[in-house]
Amino acid sequence: MQSLNFFQSRESVSRHPTWNSYPLVIADQQQHIDMSMQLLQTIQPGDAPVLYWSIAKPEGLVLGFSQKLDVLNAESLAQQRFPLYHRRAGGTAVHVGPHLLCLDVILPAEHPLILADVVESYRWFGEAWVATLQRLGIETRLVLPEEAHERRTLLKQPEIRSYELLLNRACYGSLSSYEVAVGKRKVVGIDMLRRRVGSLLQAGIVLHWDTSVLAQLLGHTTEEQQLLQTGLLERAIGLDTIAGRSVDAGEVIAAFEQVITTSDNNMPQQEV
């Protein structure tokens, strides 16, 4: 297991004129949460943005910042002794572990990728992921804001509201603007945290999709658990299923970094 301390020597960081990339870190999810916040709090104007790649070990469940504990099946959580975490960004529950590759991108204040329009600040990130997966022979698409808005309106339809609320307990049960999908199924989920010192964008790339753990932890009844297990299979998909093979995290990392380091000239400019 690889562990990285931010205050140790940065000789292991891969440097590019416009990006600094840390090697993949496999560690407890709390270390990843602390590390990303540390990187955000210490970045300075004019610094190159940072890429921090991570996989959680052991597996755990990460709740969104405002998500309440009553969303959980406390009995299942206790029985499975499943580690529980809270992230600083919004959104809903994410099952982390070897099946999910995560990337934190830390942008310093006044970086051209931090746009005045918060939603549009996600666009480059989603586009980079579509291009990344295309390099791996995996065809995906960008979820446009209009589609994401239409999906949210499902929560207002009385006949399906309870079902949508149930699936929305999990991050991969819904679609947001500029996330990446295959058909209607999410493969890359994204969120963002903004501070005066900069911006933190986070992506979770599904290497393998298994809904059994989420169903047990988020379903309060047997019926809810069954609905979650089948419903979430229709809402997300793993790279292994799309590609018909196991996709290694290293492949994904290399492809993403190739995409962003060769497309810097096409990055959006900050609105004045």
pLDDT tens digits, one per residue of 16-69:
668 999 999 999 999 999 999 999 999 999 999 999 999 999 999 999 988 999
Lowest-pLDDT range of 75-84, 105-114, 176-185: 75-84
Q: State yes or no: pLDDT of 166 exceeds 70.
A: yes
Please compute the mean of the pLDDT values over residues 144-155 and round it to a whole number: 92
Give me the pLDDT at residue 89, please: 87
Give me the pLDDT at residue 17, please: 65
Give me the pLDDT at residue 181, please: 98
pLDDT of 242-264, one tens digit each?
A: 999 999 999 999 999 999 998 65
> Which residue, 266, 264, 255, is CA-closest to 132?
255
Q: State yes or no: pLDDT of 103 exceeds 50.
A: yes
How much of the chain, in percent, has pLDDT values that exceed 70? 90
Give me the pLDDT at residue 18, please: 84
Size (the chain), residues: 272
Lowest-pLDDT range of 23-27, 32-36, 74-78, 122-126: 74-78
Give me the pLDDT at residue 266, please: 52
Q: State yes or no: pLDDT of 119 exceeds 70.
A: yes
Maximum mean pLDDT: which of 24-38, 68-82, 150-164: 24-38
Parallel/antiparallel/unpaired status of strands 84-86 and 60-63: parallel
